């Protein structure tokens, strides 16, 4: 029996409508418009299209958005100055530095310069540390988007075996942490796989919930999945396709057709986790503005 589709686009639209309502309420009650500052260094086409999508989503939610696009030759000192300017700007409640940065810029130094109270991507060491010990923080957007999808679909995570493929700081590690933590959408027993894992299928076949964030098409195929499992495909890969106007199409890390024959629930690519990432960014920016308004 083919799997049901876990539609990230639909959930994202529902959540964004609720965020827009809360933005309007905050404006009316306190005169505060949540603001997102975005810094894009260079003109990488994928990064440019992500940033444009984020700005559009901000505007649709009624938020203020400030977009700083500078050339790839920007120096590290200039990049740090851009972050510091946004740190000091009261109209900006969340700062996003689009990654990757050009090679001559120390990515960690730029991320670490973001004020933790404006770190809506949840990438600074302070935010990561707070998440690990269960303090108030901004949850990283893609991992939290995965958890929100599971919750929305009524997937029970508690007591289940969740297998995560990937251990990056942006996806694999934080999603494993959120699935493990003692909270709603967590309390699972978690196994993390990576390129050092021998016989990946041994682990994936044990997964009640399989989260794949490897960055490689066909990392998981149908025969590697336990019948009835929930499969979340985080991967976004561009594969050449001469039939497309731009010469490529997007695929995930999971072979969708074979996996959908075995899983009970599966996310598509595109239209799965991707729209949720931007939604959680809006959510964190709203939360940042709400926290500020609660302070007085």
Catalytic positions: 54, 98, 121
Query: Can you tell me the distance from the alpha carbon of 162 to that of 166, in angstroms, rounded to the nearest whole number?
Result: 13
With binding defined as CB under 6 A, does residue 214 bind ligand NAP? yes
Binding test (CB under 6 A) with ligand NAP, winner from 30, 56, 194, 291: 194
Binding test (CB under 6 A) with ligand NAP, winner from 16, 93, 118, 167: 167
Residue found under tokens 């336990």: 226
Binding test (CB under 6 A) with ligand NAP, winner from 12, 234, 263, 265: 234
Residue facing ligand NAP at closest CB distance: 168
Listed ranges 32-40, 70-78, 152-160, 231-239: which one lies at the site for ligand NAP (CB under 6 A): 231-239
Number of other CB atoms surrounding residue 155 within 10 Å:
18
Tokens found for residue 164: 């995560």
Binding test (CB under 6 A) with ligand NAP, winner from 131, 236, 260, 263: 236
With binding defined as CB under 6 A, does residue 277 bind ligand NAP? yes
Residue 203: name the closest of 163, 263, 155 by CA.
163
- DSSP one-letter string for 266-291: E--SSSSHHHHHHHHHHHHHHHHHHH
Measured CA distances, 205 to 28, 199, 202 (Å) = 51, 11, 6
Phi, psi of 41 (to 5 degrees): -110, 120
Listed ranges 61-69, 148-156, 174-182, 233-241: which one lies at the site for ligand NAP (CB under 6 A): 233-241
Q: For binding to ligand NAP (CB under 6 A), which residues are involved?
A: 142, 165-168, 170-172, 193-197, 200, 213-216, 219, 234-237, 273-274, 277
């Amino acid at each position: 029996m083919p799997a049901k589709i876990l539609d990230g686009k639909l959930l994202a639209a529902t959540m964004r409508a609720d965020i827009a309502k809360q933005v309007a309420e905050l404006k009316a009650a306190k005169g505060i418009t949540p603001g997102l500052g975005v810094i894009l260094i260079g003109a990488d086409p994928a990064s440019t299209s992500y940033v444009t999508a984020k700005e559009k989503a901000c505007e649709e939610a009624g938020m203020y958005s400030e977009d700083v696009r500078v050339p790839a030759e920007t120096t590290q000192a200039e990049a740090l100055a851009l972050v510091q300017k946004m740190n000091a700007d009261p109209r900006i409640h969340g700062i996003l530095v689009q990654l990757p940065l050009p090679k001559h810029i120390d990515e960690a130094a730029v991320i670490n310069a973001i004020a933790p109270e404006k770190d809506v991507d949840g990438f600074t060491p302070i935010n990561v540390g707070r998440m690990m010990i269960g303090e108030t923080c901004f949850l990283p957007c893609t991992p939290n988007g995965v958890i929100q999808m599971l919750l929305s679909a009524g997937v029970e995570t508690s007591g289940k075996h969740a297998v995560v493929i990937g251990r990056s700081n942006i996806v694999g590690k934080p999603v494993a942490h959120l699935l493990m933590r003692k909270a709603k959408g967590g309390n699972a027993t978690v196994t993390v796989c990576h390129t050092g894992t021998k016989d990946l299928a041994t682990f994936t076949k044990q997964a009640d919930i399989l989260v794949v964030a490897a960055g490689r098409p066909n990392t998981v195929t149908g025969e590697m999945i336990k019948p009835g499992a929930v499969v979340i495909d985080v991967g976004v890969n561009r594969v050449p396709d001469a039939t497309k106007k731009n010469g490529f199409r997007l695929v995930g890390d999971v072979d969708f057709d074979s996996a959908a024959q075995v899983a009970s629930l599966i996310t598509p690519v595109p239209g799965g986790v991707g729209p949720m990432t931007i939604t959680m960014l809006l959510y964190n920016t709203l939360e940042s503005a709400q926290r500020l308004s609660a302070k007085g």
